[in-house]
Structure 1
Amino acid sequence: MEEALLLRRIREEFPNVTWTSHRYLTHGWDHVVLILDEALVFRAPRTQAYRNALANEARLLRYLQPRVAVGIPDYVYESADGSFAGYRLLAGRELDVATFGRLSDTARERIAEQLAAFLTAVHETPKSVARECGVSERDPRRDHEDFVRDVEALVLPRLASSEVEVIRGFLTELAAEAKPTRSTSLVHGDLAGEHILWDADRRQVNIIDFSDRSIGDPAFDFAGLLANGQQFAQRVVDQYRGPKDEGMLWRARLYFRRIALETMVYALQGYPCTFEEGRAEFGARFRV
């Protein structure tokens, strides 16, 4: 939705909402965002599929609200046609690698504790509740087959033979973990630094963007944490009380490396990232 149209729609549907300044953000993959007076966040899905899912996202978050100690969006404004919705801004700085690197050990420990408790609550959500909120179930074998097809068609022809060899070995490892019989749970689906906010004043973690929620391997939600190091991810796993098995962190490392290949695929499919970014991630995460 274009900036002027979204502003007009907010005025029409919610006449009691007033503001003096706004920021319009378009770098998100699935939604455009308007921030009003640094106090309210309105999100408008880019596609019909995400528009159809927005009301269910709000419904799921209302279920989770009293069950998690971290801050999560509370959609107090929902348009009649489901094309946009708004919540009160959650404070904090994105927990990217640079921000994490400047934190004290005490702050890192507190973040690990809060993330572990959050993931425990999310992963212990009854799957019946998730399904009632429209959450779809991932098919690990089909996901893997689609991923391999895209990598082979789009990425491998652009890489050196030595890189191709490394990726083929990795895909074999990944295939061994694509088991339809593995225990699953509700997952956030994109728990990376840009969706983890650290409010240093309140010593509070806030989590945003549940657009990629699904029923899948709980290890997915630990993959993004590895950007801040194995030790940090291990600390979260150690304090996590949800469904856990000995191979969880191993699979999270596989998924973390997979992200680099996904970035290259997405770039070539027209998403707002670059092939060079993915290749740099590939070099760092695969050490090639």
Structure 2
Amino acid sequence: MTRMRIISMPYHDGRRDVDRGCGPEHLLHACSDVFGELPGSVVTVGPIDTGQPEAARVFHLADLLGREVRAARDEGLFPLILAGDCNSCVGTVAGCGGNGLGVVWLDAHPDFDTSERSHTGSLDAMGLAVITGHDWAVLRSGVTGFTEIAEDHVVHIGGRDFEPGQRDDFRSSNIRILEGNTFTGPELTAALDDLRARTNRAYLHIDLDCLDPSEGIANQYSADGGLSLARLLEIVNAVFDRFEVAAAAVTAYHPGSDIDNRMAGTASKVFATVMRRADEQ
């Protein structure tokens, strides 16, 4: 039986409202058939002072999350993070130890903006940039144990919804990019095998909007042309086949967008696969 700790982390402003912050708690309830037999504990990150500036809240939550991830690993438990947004990656990387860590990132969006090149000002669109050493240097240095990830240790899968300039910024990096759902099986194999040649440890990051809306609506940023559930599960299995997976995160589920509850059902199948494979490693 899986030795796992589920770590629930709200949206980065500390809210638990229907659109964002309560997503992790909603999934815990909606997927109780999967989590019900879990012997490991469930912890919730926070609370934090919501009177802090937004960026301060992001990095404060990251520090708290990193401590929980580290504690789980120290106890021999697999950390499964349910997060309101993708900025959780900063804390997850800190808790796993970034030295030599690989990242397999599934997302409809690059999440590679910085404060200098952002058109929207969205901090949620900066997570992957932050963990690869771009921007917010002082605040990220305050996250206990954080070490940046080399760009060539990242494989990004499923990106297809780009703001002006984002695709060019992304492609000028050293990140291995497999866009949308148009890449071939051999291209996926080559990307993961190349990462495996660099490291045997990886963090698996799944923003549920990597999935096509035909599988359910994860959030208000869902976009056509995404992965099928079957293909996502193939990718999850391929990652576990090649790497010691240090932690996995499922992020950005907004219950208010999942009006027919299909994405919650889809997510339960993702959780079941991650749990099974974590138990096997």
Whose Rg is larger?
1
Q: Which has the higher contact order (CA 8 A, sep 6+)?
A: 2
Output the TM-score relative to the length of structure 1.
Answer: 0.31
Output the TM-score relative to the length of structure 2.
Answer: 0.31
Q: Larger helix proportion, structure 1 or 2?
A: 1
